[in-house]
Chain A
Amino acid sequence: MPRPVVKEITFTLDGREITAPEGMILVDAAGKYGDTEIPVFCYEPKLGQPVGACRMCLVEIEGIPKLQTGCSTPIRDGMVVHTQTQRVHDAQRAVVEFLLINHPLDCPVCDKGGECPLQDITYGWGPGTSRFIEPKRHFKKPLELSPLIAIDRERCILCYRCVRYSQEVAEDYQLVLQQRGAASYVSTFDGHPYVAPFSGNIIELCPVGALTSRAYRFRARPWDIEGAGTVCAGCTAQCNVELTVRDERVLRVLSRDHSEVDDGWLCDKGRFSYQAVHAEERITQPLVREGAELHPASWEKAIEAAAAALKKAGDRAAALAGGTTTNEEAFLLSGLLRDKLGSSHLATGVGGEQPLDVVRALADPKLQATVPDLEFAHTVLLVDCDPIDEAPVWDLRIRKGVRRHGTKLVVASARPTALDQNAAATLRFAPGGAEGFLVALDAALSGDAGNLGGAASAAGTNATAIQEFADALRAGGEEVVIVYGDRALRGSAGRALLNIASRLNLANVANAGLLELPSTPNGRGLREVGFAAGHGPGFSTISAPGHGAEAIASGLASGDLHTVWLHHVDPLRNYPNRPAWEKALGTAQTVIAVESQLTDTVREYADVVFPAEAYPEKEGTITHPDGRVQRLRQAIGHPRAASDVPGSGVRALWQVISDVARELGHSAGTAIAGAVVSKRVFEAVPFYNGMTLDGIGGRGLRWQEHATFEVEQSDPFVLAVPASLPAKGESELRLGTFRPLWAHKDVDLSPALQFIRAKQVVELSKADADARGIGEGDRVEIGNGTRIPGTARIRAAIPAGSVFVAEGIAEHNANVLTHGIVEVHRVGPGSTDATSIPIQSTPAVEGRAEMPPSAGLPIPPREVT
């Protein structure tokens, strides 16, 4: 879809000729090109069309008798604007006076005080005193709008920002304005808590202190704090954030608006899970297992133990990396294993390994879509992924495209996604049928009727549905962005995806292409710096490829591999097939773990534990799924150990790996500073060549824009029909898993997010539920042999025969179920305690019925005193 074309025009602002792009909103043009600030409250371009409610931006335009709102007036050639006349000043002063008559002026106790637009505008444009001597409007305050947000209705100036955000950006349709006139107030319709995946953004949007963060409540004033820009490493979306730091503690996370990454929004996980950084439970010093127990140890001892184990293991050592692993750490660790120990058993994702030619072809810059493409493409195709759980801000980005630019969304997934309501076409296949779907879609696009039927039934759907879906995909236009999760890439799925891309001619269409959703935040970076079994830095070929994750588990279990280094990885929680990993880790001679808390993996199996850095403590680079190399900047110091002996606390992980390498006599793998490692990464990866940390700066650098990466072009692959899914009995269901947004160890440790911690839910279709006598909220058990309990949740959009359970959660994790075919039984009625019903990350999937139930939180009715 063509991006808007801008034409320069000239208009007059306070007697000066200003040149600006045509159609730009006057407030923006005056600020950006005219160096004139026009005050605004309700205007926020990110929220869509201006509403002109606050009337703060009134300006005089020659030829129009009434004052006009600058926030809604696009500039035109030859327009003459006055912002400094007495008439404008009077109007602005009047509006400030009006806004302040019902504003309590409790700035000293207000969290917004000092960074409050209302304060600033009052100082700049207000009358200085008030003539209002009547009693002000009173509401009971402060109230919980949700467990995360406090609302103070007295301070509200009714600018509509939060309501518009809820209605038009997040599209959860929860916030509304109640009553009218001077008695209006913001609330949810029936007073239930405003719980949504993106609710925290309204705190940043609020131009007064009406909506404040409960987690940040009274923690600091703006002059007590420092802002530290970095990148949130909580998920793949890698939103740019600014951390609010006071006394070496992160107190708040704000968005650092980057239109090509996050569009200025954050999810609540990214916004509130910073509390885990300062959790009591954090491991702050190395631990070494002596006998059956883990004991605190000195760094020297821990490094010695780790080095000895690795030396002993030699090429029988393996390493897994994930989580917040930086490119630098991955580069050093893969170098240590590959160059010193001769082992290429390096795995990152939970997905299967693809052949090197597919990996290289998927990294082709020509096929690479970017995040803004999600918004402007003709068609966006989601393949077996739900952005709200894996890269939440992409969900908002896609919604924005559909709402404002007419982007067509088509969704093909096993589990219904949060975006289904916005989709022009949806296709449901059976859990595990992604490979079959991709092969079938390729066949449908190429007109290969033979493959189509077989592959469609292997995906658990039928040829007609796939053909209709393919037609819908083609109908929108040539700019197609395909978003796929790396979990979908099993077997021939990668080749099928490449085929689809070539059939849609994505390589030759600008603003179209593929966008991967890796299962680990820095998945792309780890791969590109060579932390992979099959290739070296920059996808270079290596002589002896190693094992992938599944093979590492079986190798450890069988004794072929001896030692495993778990870098920010918790296989028992985050990898499929927990029993296999329990066996693997139990059999392994040494398990070296880099971890921030005592997980099951650490407590039961780790022999050497290095304390992990949290992302605000890290220095290094990570790579966004669209190839943007971004910098993590250290915002706070490393925590000290309990003993408080200097140097005994958490250390930088590049330094730890470097120390282990030194101990092993691998001088090439040692470094004296993090920046040295970064430099080495930029030299080792061909397409990172020429990058510098300064060049990356705060906005990141997409390597595709500066470097080339040649991929040998091949004809479309000839694909075989994948094996059909295992048969299931009449009473059995096909098991699919999903990873809820809140299934993260940092959420578990953040006090503010406890109410929304992911618990096990068993999602099943109405038909299957009825057949088993299961009602919404009932307690059920699911499994085949091994069983786990959960709460039943009936969703209309799930096809009969499939059931979905959450993985990656702390208790009753789905990864203990090793069978793809399960049975579900009701064990009892649901709890009457409303708080026990898990709140899902997808509040509005199928309309209001799926809105989170009122969690029984104390939101008293409005009281006017």
Chain B
Amino acid sequence: MKPASSVLALALPVILLVGCGSQDDQSNPASPSASPLGLLAPPVEVALDEDGRPVAESLAESQILHRGNAEEPQTLDPHLAEGVPSSILLRDLFEGLATSQPDGRIVPGAAAHWDISRDGLVYTFYLRPDSRWSNGEPLTAADFVWSWQRVVDPQTGASYGRMLAPVKNAEAIFAGELGVEMLGVEALSDSSFQVTLESPTPYFLGLLTHPTTFPVYRPAIEQFGASHVRPGQLVSNGAYVLADWQVRSHIELARNPHYRAADQVIIERVFYYPFEDENTEFNRFRAGDLQWTYRVPSNQFGWLKNNMAESLMVAPWFGTYFFSFNLQRPPFQDNLALRQALNLAVNRDILTNSVTRFGEIPTYNLIPPGLPDYNPFVPEYAEWTQAEREAEARRLYAQAGYSEDNPLTVELRYNSSENHRRIAIAMSAMWKQVLGVRTRLINEEFRVFLQNRTQGRVTEVFRAGWIGDYQDAFTFLELFHSEHGRNDAGYANPSYDRLLEQISAERIPALRRNLLREAERMLLADQVVLPTYIYVSKRLVDPRLQGWAENVMDQHLTRHMYLLKSRTPGEPESPEADSAERGGS
């Protein structure tokens, strides 16, 4: 390294000279408050007033937040957006009829309150009288009517349009059989918005925090078309407005003075940075450029645990990492025993403790825990010891007609990623060890993988995984309806389909809960999937950033957050601490 740095020493002055001549004197968006080695100054103890808000004295002077985001959002049009990076931004920019508390609880948002008819089919939302768009214009029920009609209009191409499927006639409008004006929404007055559902949908309020249900500003869309989302043209109704957007550099949001609760928003400005690489984001956090990361490098767990424990935040998430069997082709077609054998032979504890290592929760069922009104169905063998499971696996393997002399050869397919690769290797080793299965690992670039999964012509057992779209077990179970577009396993069980239809029509919560459990039981009994673990959300957070809480949907609105003063304000980070840390690394 020595010779290279001598060249470097030569190069530096030259670059500085050349660099000074460059044109644009743009202010620096990231303002590095460089604290060497990511050593963050500890915050003061937070004092809260009677409303649970922090008192002004404990707040940092500058309330500018820098958040890492996974990638450049595909779009900031709430109806066209998909993917987590866009939805994080959209929840800051817009507000639906309902919104969520830091802990994930669903509370009134743009609507002050609502009535639900006794049959659970008609929801009447009463908008707040002071609700305004970011340009000061009033937000009315007509805005919601127009917005929701836009979502279901096939011309819009809303990627998450299915979110509104529970609304009356939505499916027929998607299919082009009815006009958008037939959608079951109505503005009873400027401030009351009525929604009629096809069937009672207990999770309907949960959908209202999803960007697809957010209102959009009609005049801007009509005037600017697709570019209505540019800074200066985007009109939104959330706590923040779009101030600047430099593609793949940063997106800057500023406090919206017309927001209904603007006086409670503490963070003045938020910068979102897209990171294509997790190590890059990690370095920026360590350099003090970020207070919040989207993820952490998956292979750095040990180091993080030892060195940045106060910043490392890990919490269960509403998603499951599982594998699917292709039920339309040999060897898994009509071979339940074989599927069961492979399922039982996988030691989940090894996967989570030695491979993923971030506290993921081993699972034998599909639906993550933590739902307000659902207890996942846990199969019997989840309680067995691993030795018992393996013995049963061997018995089933033999029953399926395989043995040491006649081993199964199987293809395990996953999309290229370091984490998926390690899990696939570990699983194939377990199958080999317990059953003698020969596994061929196949990794494919994402879209190739997706196409192969969808077509089901070459897949045998393949990686899947699902993060729930709304807080209900149905978001997982519906994937296996014989006609669902993501039913890549090709599961076609009429009793299962019937069960899903019953769930959609069931009005009594307790009965519905039982039906959901029965559906999950059936799915596991048929061993359509091989669940491995429940995802965790993991990120680095500056300890000075408060006001947020872990929640299972992993939604963290900037408007709840605030930055505390460092414990020693104005003083540079203590030099002893620096050098100690440096020596240690």
B and A form one assembly: no
- Using a CB–CB distance below 8 Å, which chain B residues touch chain A? none
- Using a CB–CB distance below 8 Å, which chain A residues touch chain B? none
